[in-house]
Amino acid sequence: MQLLILRHGEAEPMVGEDSERQLTDRGRAQVAWICDRRADELAQVRAIWASPFVRTQQTAQIVAGRLRQRVDTQPILVGDTDPQEVLDALGRAAHFPLLLVTHNPLASILVNDLCGSAGAHSLGTASLACLESEVWADGCAELSWLQHPEA
């Protein structure tokens, strides 16, 4: 099975509620660039899950618009969720390849825990990782590729 993990694009600075921060123009461009660069791989996605925060919803909608898919909002995809909650949800997921649109630290923790890579991989804004595994448990996945947006 294949799992793609996308961190949201660059967001506006913290002014009010973190959950209400929107993508900047640069953030939208980052996400569009990733979608163009990995169009073939993203075309295989059968489901999109996203955090309820505004910036992740905006990021997911950019991808979903290109794929003509809907976004399933998942409250467990906020940045400070216990990664085991996400792994449990993945175990119940019906459609793969699955794209998760989320935040750090959760995005980087998931990639590193699933791959057993001890913090070797960091996801910056709009970074997209592709993992392969038969089961979603710590140390059981292989990182197929990790794409960072151009600077």
Domains and CATH numbers, the chain: 2-12+20-147 (3.40.50.1240)
Nearest Cα residue to 131 out of 105, 150, 149, 107: 107
* pLDDT score of 119: 85
* pLDDT score of 79: 82
Tell me the pLDDT of the chain averaged across its residues. Answer: 96
Q: Is the pLDDT confidence value at 151 over 80?
A: no
**Cα dihedral sign, 7-39-114-76:** positive
Give residue-wise pLDDT tens across range 34-90. Answer: 999 999 999 999 999 999 999 999 999 999 999 999 999 999 999 889 999 999 999
Q: Is the pLDDT confidence value at 143 over 80?
A: yes
pTM: 0.97
Q: Residue 94: exposed, middle, or buried by beta-carbon count in 10 A (0-12, 13-18, 19+)?
A: exposed
Give residue-wise pLDDT tens across range 83-132. Answer: 999 999 999 999 999 999 999 999 999 999 999 998 899 999 999 999 99
Q: Is the pLDDT confidence value at 140 over 70?
A: yes
DSSP E strands, the chain: 2-7, 47-50, 71-73, 98-102, 128-132, 142-147
Which one-letter amino acid corresponds to residue 144?
S
Other C-beta atoms lying within 10 Å of the C-beta of residue 66: 15
The mean pLDDT value for 20-34 works out to 97
